[in-house]
Chain A
């Protein structure tokens, strides 16, 4: 017990070594992506590996960018903005109604929401594809990716958990002061659950921005493709051109990484919140 202090200090040196090594491993793929997308192939295909390029070029990034990436960006941004705004709003509204109103079939509908959360996407994908393409004729449109994602059972569930903790007295006070249901929702409920709203927005943004299988299914021309699908198709015939493919990857990674570093606190807290309210 007496030697505890030195042991701890000794241990903590190892701790820090371990942690920094871990952090380096976490970051290494990103670093490699950055240098490879500006390196010349001679240096990329060199053994032992060159970690600091001696000559750099932007030609890979330019070449990748000119291969329809602006279009993929536009599609991804439009889809993400519409889907996130819609989800934040509809989840809060439905969550509020489920938390504070009484209506027929309420429990049944809520259990239905919980049940759909548990069903894997692979189960619903074939009929959903049929509904979206054959019945609604949405193939190769942005609507095919937007409409099914406008609402989310998970978002509704999350917001119900939050709005439930708003005291009834507060809502009654608003009511007595003459506020209608909508005004109560906008002016009392929404401001009170801003942490949950931003958590919900971040969760759905990450999810829709990275979604792959559904956009892959409902698009077969560039006009409606999103970044992940566009990148996959950009990479598949070019696997031998390491620098070019990695540049494409960097173009997809970069905006998300920048957004993450700007809002990292909100990102981490948002994910904790969505995780723990499950």
Chain B
């Protein structure tokens, strides 16, 4: 059967016979794959949407309560509003800071072949290490006492010991320090790949025209890197907004909710307080926030540099 179809299609001389072909049973291998995706990714999205309009708690009857959860979230749940502020503050500082540092480092080691792989290896290391193990270590490094490594460095510059994780003002900057440390290598590697894609002749031509290195960067490197910048900003922000495990291990959300993040609050309302309907509506609000911010970023960054 199949053999004859092949011959016939071969004879018609179609350009893409494989694509013109009628239904091929080989495609059925997608069924279990798509099935699993439906079960654990697609159905849960709709279920979560449905649950967000209910007062569902684990092992209890479901009652439909309309928009009550959403109204409650925005009018009465101060912790939730606080977590939104915390999370956005964290993401909007950590992503640009992390990108600026990685871009500077990438610029420095680009074209220094003998050192590039050494530095790349060192800077990339934190990205692959298990986050939990790293955060456990950082919890000690950022100890508020003089035994904390950071504080002992500050002491070398005659700066008094800082409260760091115990202070509601310094706790998010401390988390930003950790995530910047962890992600700088990843962004740097992407920037190095981006820099490698810029033709060297552009720089030579600009140099002949008398451009200085500042101009080379802003007129050639920066615009031509814009796809990489767009990618790292968008994916970096989506990832940063979902931060959970770092504050969970480091501070459990404290002091006084100062480091509680949205995902942490969803986890706590859903799985510690068992208010799963309410947690679902928080998740929906969170989803809407991420989508909105992503669309804004795509719009803003795309129209600015379209070469």
Contact = CB atoms under 8 A, between A and B. Distances in A.
Given A256-B130, A260-B128, A249 B137 contact: yes
A124 B2 CA distance: 42
A124 B40 contact: yes
The bracket for how many chain A residues form the interface is: 35 or more
Contacts of B155: 48
Interface stretch (B10-18, B168-176, B218-226): B10-18
A212 to B, nearest CB: 4
Interface of A: 15, 18-19, 22-23, 25-30, 32-33, 36, 44-49, 90, 93-94, 97, 100-104, 109, 112-113, 116, 118-132, 147-148, 150-151, 153, 156, 168, 171-172, 175-176, 178, 180-182, 206, 209-210, 212-213, 217, 227-229, 231-232, 235, 239, 242, 245-246, 248-250, 252-253, 256-257, 260-261, 264-265, 267-268, 271-272, 275-276, 278
A261 B18 CA distance: 43
B84 interface: no
A228 B155 CA distance: 33
B133 to A, nearest CB: 4
B100 interface: no
Contacts of B186: 271, 275
B108 A19 contact: yes
The 9 closest A-B pairs by CB, nearest first: A127-B44, A127-B47, A124-B44, A181-B26, A252-B133, A228-B132, A116-B41, A148-B40, A249-B133
A258 to B, nearest CB: 11
A186 to B, nearest CB: 12
Contacts of A28: 149
B271 A217 contact: yes
A121 B23 CA distance: 34
20 contacts: A23-B119, A47-B147, A100-B19, A116-B41, A116-B42, A118-B238, A122-B263, A124-B48, A125-B283, A126-B47, A126-B279, A131-B39, A150-B36, A172-B10, A181-B24, A210-B132, A232-B136, A253-B133, A253-B134, A257-B125
Contacts of A180: 2
Contacts of B123: 22-23, 26
Among B109, B125, B138, B287, chain A packs the most CB atoms within 10 A around the CB of B125
The secondary-structure label for the interface of chain A is helix
A257 B244 CA distance: 23
B262 interface: yes
B82 interface: no
A90 to B, nearest CB: 5
Among B33, B141, B267, B271, chain A packs the most CB atoms within 10 A around the CB of B33
Given A127-B51, A181-B24, A119 B108 contact: no
Contact of A123 (B33, B128, B283): B283
B270 A268 contact: no
A278 B231 CA distance: 8
Contacts of B231: 275-276, 278
A242 B140 contact: yes
The bracket for how many chain B residues form the interface is: 35 or more
A159 B137 CA distance: 36
A235 B252 CA distance: 13
A58 to B, nearest CB: 19
Given A22-B119, A217-B271, A231-B136, 19 more contacts: A26-B122, A29-B138, A102-B20, A118-B291, A120-B287, A124-B40, A126-B44, A126-B280, A128-B41, A148-B36, A151-B33, A168-B18, A213-B245, A228-B131, A248-B136, A249-B137, A260-B129, A268-B189, A275-B186
Given A26-B185, A116-B41, A171-B18, A123 B286 contact: yes
Interface string B104-130: 010011000001011111111111111
Contacts of B290: 120
Contact of A212 (B29, B51, B245, B284): B245
